[in-house]
Structure 1
Amino acid sequence: MKVRFLGAARGVTGSCYMMEVQGKRFAVDCGLHQGNSEIEKRNWNIDLYDPASISFIMITHAHIDHCGLLPRLVQKGFKGKVYATPPTVDLLEIMLTDSAFIQEMEAEWKSKKLSRHGKPGVMPLYKSGDVFKAMKLVHPVEYNEEFSPCNGVHVLYKDAGHILGSSIIEIRIQEENDKRVKLVFSGDLGRPNQLLVRNPSYSEVADFLFMESTYGNRDHKNEDQSRDELLEAVNYSYNEGQKVIIPAFALERTQEVLYSFYLLHKEGRLPEDMPIFLDSPLAIRATQIFSKHYSYFDSKTRGFFKAGEDPLKLPNLKLMETASQSMSINTYKGPAIIISASGMANAGRVKHHLRHNIWKKGASIVFVGFQAKGTPGRKIVDGAKTIKILGEELAVKARVFTINGFSAHAGQSHILDWLSHFQNHGMKVFLMHGEYESQKVLSELIREKFDHEVHIPEYLEECLLKPNRVYESRMEPGLESPRINWDYVLEELQGKVSRLADNKNIVSSKSWTEQVEMRDDALEAGTILSKIISSLHLADSDSNSTDN
């Protein structure tokens, strides 16, 4: 039995475990890789997945970093069944359709840009037709109802308490030699007492546990504090006559924020004349699906629905479906709350709202979710003085709030508590879906508290899983993160500067207008290099302050 880690290994996107059991290949999750250009290239290297040979896929939940590669796999030959809970099935359709739309629009934009330079266009990663084909393969499975997708493999979905429909997947495997092995995949674990969803279920026995570790080195604030912090941001910008921008994931985070505003409204603490613009067609559709599947919520939320109240609606909530409605927000005079995707501020309508507001004193930017390295959201959270948005370098003058209490992920103490319910000794734990520094902290705690052996796989690492909880790891050197050849990069830069200097007389002979354009381009290149150099100095100072 083998497992290969095709994503979320020492990172938080592209979740995919490729399993091989008795000649059958199947996957747990097939997420989109998101981040810098090198990471996103992984979405195109689909040969690693060998889609046509995959028998079936099990989806833990509908976040795009766990399901977003499914249409691409279908496009390249996958024809097996896909299993997910009923709410996840409904959410998959809107999430993947939206993803396809983004892929198509980005490809169209890049193609137009290339055509202006006489170069051929590019194809999208996948299209809406691929989503349609993928959805025909999806089969709903309920929590706690065991099924067998193939001989020798028995599967049980349990509530992960992360988002609506999210799952822990338990797999019992009957080996040919009559040995039995149990695998548990945590998916993304939720935290106890989270808004809307039920608490995570527990597992008690596993030979091999594949566990998320997003917040493996820290805990969250509680919900009441988070609601107070949210209100602080609202009151700050309300009093300044400015806007509150909330980059929020369309799925779960938006609904939690709406629910929080609903509770603040019931408590009489929310300004009644401050409109809330929900500016995301995807988030609007996701909210409708949440209301449809309210029976999967916790008892408190179900109680609101049974009493005839929808806690995802407010009197001052305005749904902005069209692009023209979205643009009108930025001409609205007076304070307002804008909830818009994406949650890491790296795509979607929120970029336009940030461009209009991030440089204004009195405005607020409220981050309510994890910000991955390399994203605009992470740069803002880390204290960037300027940020490039839609091609324009903008000063960050708005007040920045980071409210981790809204996270749908378990914090460190929650992870350890969940892990404490396993009753067997000698379990092997694989830490996934987390940044490496966080994972190292968590791994040491797990060894100290539970005496479990912990392994932190690398991208593309393969492990042979044997009976008696033994595993062997194999990694082809250099595959996980190819070395950056800085000597080549610097030689190229120096060569271009030298060629420009050698041709200074030719440059000087150009018209004044042409010279101004060339100068501006050269200075912009210099500005980019200055930012890189400044980041190195910042890293040095951070390191020195830590040592002190």
Structure 2
Amino acid sequence: MHVEFHGAAGEVTGSMHLVHAAGRRILLDCGLIQGSREAEARNAGPFPFDPATLDAVVLSHAHIDHIGRVPLLVKRGFRGPIHTQHASAELMPVMLLDAASLSESEAERANRDRRRGEPEAQPLFTAEDAQATLRQVRPQSYDERTTILPGVDIALRDAGHILGSAIVELWADGRKLVFSGDLGPKGTPILRDPAVVRQADLLVMESTYGDRNHRDRPETVRELGDIFEHAWRDRGNVLIPAFAVGRTQELLYWFARHWDAWKLSRWRIFLDSPMAAKVVNVYARHHGLFDEDAQAVWRQSPNPFRLPNLHVSESTQQSMAINLIENGAIIIAGSGMANGGRIQHHLKHNLGRRNAHVVFVGYQAAGTLGRRLVDGAAWVRIHGRDYRVNAQRHTVGGLSAHTDQRGLMDWYAHFQPSPPLVLVHGEDKAREALAGEIGERHGVDVALARPGMAIDV
């Protein structure tokens, strides 16, 4: 077995790893690169392999930094099966068709503004490309070992990151590769804890928060309640950039759990994301995958996805109307890193207000608008115009859908014996810290994946 690393190798987005085994070529994830304009321009570049030569793709979960370039694979000649968990398969149309729409809109806007002689901008992929991709998807249940190619078996285990997220076990050539995908923390609302895996000949593991530990979740939840109380006294709005898959559903879960304590009935709550609204419906159909606490909350009132003062903004006109509200609104909108989507319009109308509160509840990649705001920028540029930042900013790290250093080390410790380890999906500072801790505790060599790096198993 031979493994090549071509994405999320020294950065947090763009997950993509190529496995050569049993005379076949299997791609693990094919995600979108996110961040600065320069970073995102790399998405349109050639793949470091011929997509037509791939035999299968296995996707760990439906976040766009893990699936966002799959339509480009298909567009460039990949015709094989795409394996992923059932819930992920249902989320894929929501995610990919939204990404196609954004890409088409960006190309159209660029062509309106292009100068004479400049080449015409093309979308990375279209809705037609996304639909072609979906026809190749082969859904799979958790905990079922399946032969996907002659001599190649896989099993998907619950990763506890988002609905349908999976740890991938792959057997071939008498060897076993484990790819963690993205691992969630223990005790995450709605989701079950990551499954324990005990044996691997090579482990490829994420390291997003490899250099830090999250605050305790109860303390984080108290902090969130305090922010809402502070914002109410300030007579301002609360803006929450949130990923449509995972973070939005968890926020609504906490709103239902603390409905009375946080006095949420006095607020107007807006879910300004047609995509998030569709995702909520997928979560509702798959509530059998929820953990026991979430099952109980699901049966209570208010239901997290049907809060009495929750307004779901489907149309552009509904979204624009929110910007007329100067106080008393909690606005959840994408994108989660504030690098696009409807949250940017709400930021333009609220960043200058000293009584506004912007709450970051997830990882903010280098180069994104969210990262600049978290880092304390006094001015930010949105849609070609500069805006002064007077709003109060809060980073609520304990709601992360990624486990922290302690969680990663605990999950690794279940393997007996300790397998060789390659760290992906993390910036170097995080990976180096985690590599040092695991290497010292378990006496193993830990490799940090670099683009183009290869390893034999």
TM-score class, shorter-chain normalisation, is over 0.9
Letter in 2 for 1:207: D
Match of 2:379 among 347, 371, 386: 386
Q: Distance in 2 between the 1:257 and 1:47 partners?
A: 37
Query: How many angstroms does 1:160 deviate by?
Result: 0.4
Higher helix content, 1 or 2: 1
Question: CA–CA distance in 2 between the matches of 1:240 and 1:41?
Answer: 41
User: Is the CA contact (8 Å cut-off) linking 1:157 and 1:170 kept in structure 2?
Assistant: yes
Task: Give the distance between the partners of 2:343 and 2:224, measured in 1 at CA.
Answer: 18
Shift of 1:307: 5.4
Aligned partners of 2:47, 2:165: CA distance in 1, in Å? 28
1:74 touches 1:134 (CA, 8 Å); kept in 2?
Answer: yes
1:431 corresponds to which of 423, 435, 445: 423
Deviation string 1:192-226 (CA, Å, 9 cap, x unpaired) is 00011000001101110000000000011122222
After superposition, what is the alpha-carbon deviation per residue over 1:2-43, rounded to whole angstroms, capped at 9, x for unaligned? 221111001011101111123311101110111223322331
Q: What is the distance in 1 between the residues matched to 2:182 and 2:326?
A: 40
**Structure 2 Cα separation of the partners of residues 311 and 126 of structure 1:** 34
Q: Give the residue type in structure 2 aligned to 1:159.
A: D
1:252-304 C-alpha deviation (Å, 9 max, x unpaired): 00111111111110x43224221001000001111111111000010111123
Q: 1:46 touches 1:73 (CA, 8 Å); kept in 2? A: no
Alignment match, 2:143: 144
Match of 2:352 in 1: 359
Letter in 1 for 2:423: L
Matches of 2:337 and 2:91, distance apart in 1:
20
Residues 506-539 of structure 1: CA deviation (Å, up to 9, x unaligned): xxxxxxxxxxxxxxxxxxxxxxxxxxxxxxxxxx
Counterpart of 2:127 in structure 1 is 128
1:231 counterpart (210, 225, 234): 225
C-alpha distance in 2 between matches for 1:88 and 1:310: 23
Corresponding position of 1:458: 450
Q: 1:171 is matched with which residue?
A: 170
**What residue number does 1:472 align with?**
none
Q: Which residue of 2 aligns with 1:48?
A: 48
For residues 392-413 of structure 1, give each alpha carbon's deviation from its aligned partner in whole angstroms, at most 9, with x where no partner exists. Answer: 2122111100001110000110
Query: Quick one: which of 428, 433, 436 aligns to 1:441?
Result: 433
Residue equivalent to 2:389? 396
1:366, 1:325 → 2: CA distance? 22
1:335 Cα deviation after fit: 1.6
Q: Which residue of 1 aligns with 2:246?
A: 252
Tell me the residue number matched to 1:240. 234
Question: Is the counterpart of residue 77 in structure 1 residue 80 in structure 2?
Answer: no
Residue aligned with 1:46, SS: coil
Matches within 5 A, 1:217-296: 217-265=211-259, 267-296=260-289
Aligned to 1:318: 311
Name the residue aligned to 1:62. 62
Partners in 2 of 1:107 and 1:351 — Cα distance?
19
In structure 1, C-alpha distance between the alignment counterparts of 2:261 and 2:398, rounded to whole Å: 22
Residue range with higher mean Cα deviation, 224-233 or 99-108:
224-233
Contact 2:202 2:421 in 1 (8 A): yes
The number of residues matched between the two structures is 457
Who is 1:535 aligned against? none
Tell me, in whole angstroms, the C-alpha distance in 1 between the residues paired with 2:199 and 2:163.
Answer: 25
CA shift at 1:333, angstroms? 4.2
Q: TM-score, normalised by structure 1?
A: 0.82
- Indicate the structure (1 or 2) with the bigger Cα radius of gyration: 1
Q: Structure 1 counterpart of 2:184, which letter?
A: G
What amino acid is aligned across from residue 435 of structure 2 in structure 1? S
**CA distance in structure 2 between the aligned counterparts of 1:144 and 1:334, rounded to whole angstroms:** 48
> Where has structure 1 moved over 6 Å in runs of 4 or more?
none
Q: Cα RMSD over matched residues?
A: 1.3
Give the partner amino acid of 1:7: G
Per-residue deviation, 1:309: 5.9
Deviation at 1:45, TM superposition (A): 1.9
Of 412, 420, 434 in structure 2, the residue corresponding to residue 419 of structure 1 is: 412
CA-to-aligned-CA distance 1:345-399 (integer Å, 9 cap, x gap): 1100100100110111010000000000111111111111111122221221111
Q: Deviations over 1:301-344 (max 9, x none)?
A: 11233458632221111010100000000112432100000011
Q: Secondary structure of 1:57's match?
A: strand
User: Bigger relative contact order, structure 1 or 2, given CA contacts below 8 A and separation 6+?
Assistant: 2
Matched, 1:339 2:336: no
Give 1:520's aligned residue.
none
Query: Which amino acid in the other structure matches residue 3 of structure 1?
Result: V
Counterparts in 2 of 1:443 and 1:191: CA distance versus 1, 3 Å? same
Find the counterpart in structure 2 of residue 377 from structure 1: 370
> 1:236·1:362 contact (CA, 8 Å) conserved in 2?
no
State the distance in 1 between where 2:398 and 2:326 align.
31
Which SS does the other structure have where 1:347 is aligned?
A: coil
